[in-house]
Structure 1
Amino acid sequence: HESPNLHIYELKEDFWMKFQIQKVQTLAATFNSWIMFSTGFESYIATVATDKITIFVQSGVQYEVMQVLSTSNGLQSFDGILAVHVKSCRGEVVLMTGFGKHLVGMVFDPQSSSPGFKVALKGSLSVDVTSWKNGFAYIDSSNNLAVVILPTSSGAEKFIVQAHLVEVKDPVELQTQGIIKAVDDIKDEYNRQKDIITAAENLLYYSVASHSDIHANITIT
């Protein structure tokens, strides 16, 4: 981080099989702090400015803006954000930030029309947090609980984050199920109309004794 820019480097192997660190991108923006985290097998960077938090998602070797979070939910400004990991196979995280005693927690919502981090928790702490960017989070190996340490007006405070995962349907699976249902409905309607035509043909066939062709208009409803 070289104010006001964030430089991203990659360890690359050259023709002579030597590894070198090369700059691949510069995120030019004014911000006070930043974090890097992974969730759902994707890598993210969040930059924190006083009035907004910008979340970038990795696409290849570049990072692209995925979402911009503005001050709201009782927060007058931002100075930092924490990624609190929840024990899961996908490495889910809860993004936590706040102002004073106010606290906001956000989780990733893959089912939204515009997938991104949505507010899942709003609350208040018993003390004023003096700096979110100087806080840190970790998983306590003894009980697998997420722990957050924050500097407050009363000194460093320890907070326990209790979160659990809720199973949601895969959006692709939901779309596939909708397509399958539509196809099944079309098949049912086709079979219904086929049965009506067959019944009409049988009725006309047995209604006359000659072998003359009979033409008729049949309306299926």
Structure 2
Amino acid sequence: MMRTPCTILISLLVLASGCLDLGSEPPAARCVEGNCIDGKGKLEIQEGSYVGEFRNGLPAGQGELFFKEVRIYKGSFRHGLFYGKGEYFFADGSRYVGDFLQGHFHGKGNLDLKTGSSYDGEFRNGLYHGRGVYVYLDGARYSGEFRNGKPDGIGLFESSRGGYMKGRFVQGELDGSAEVYVPGEGKLEGEFSRGRLKRLL
């Protein structure tokens, strides 16, 4: 599970660890175009820049954030943070499109990973949380409820070979009453605990 991108807090002129190595001193920032207080402008920060709307000296409204001339975010800002609808581009080619809240994936969104896997659904604080569909590289898919980044709740896992597991999941494993189908072997209904079959129903 890919975590939320670095939270951008331009108001403090700090890009959190993992985006830039800033050392102990905040980088110098300068307005090189337009109005970077209340209006539209371009603010340059060490190895990066912000182009868009400002309010009270902070990114607010629509804008784009660049790191070493490569766009990493396009969308809405509030108080210097990703907020509302936006698109985030990871260095490895992965991409997120959807809702943000205070710099985190939060609400509905779609995450396409470089690995070929994808998630479409609800996020909370940067994690899969709520209803969603995760599609694996081999074509297998889980659709249902997620909690803190893992399948948790009622869901259906469908393998790329035609099998499935349907029931309640806890932290990614079947737990409780469930139905399992294995091609060539048939279907069974049973009681599971942490992914292990305890008894047939």
Please give the range of the TM-score, normalised by the shorter of the 2 chains: under 0.3
Higher strand share: 2
Please tell me whether Structure 1 or Structure 2 has the larger radius of gyration of its CA atoms.
1
The normalised TM-score by structure 1 is: 0.24
Q: Which structure's residues are more often helix, by fraction?
A: 1
TM-score (norm: length of structure 2): 0.26
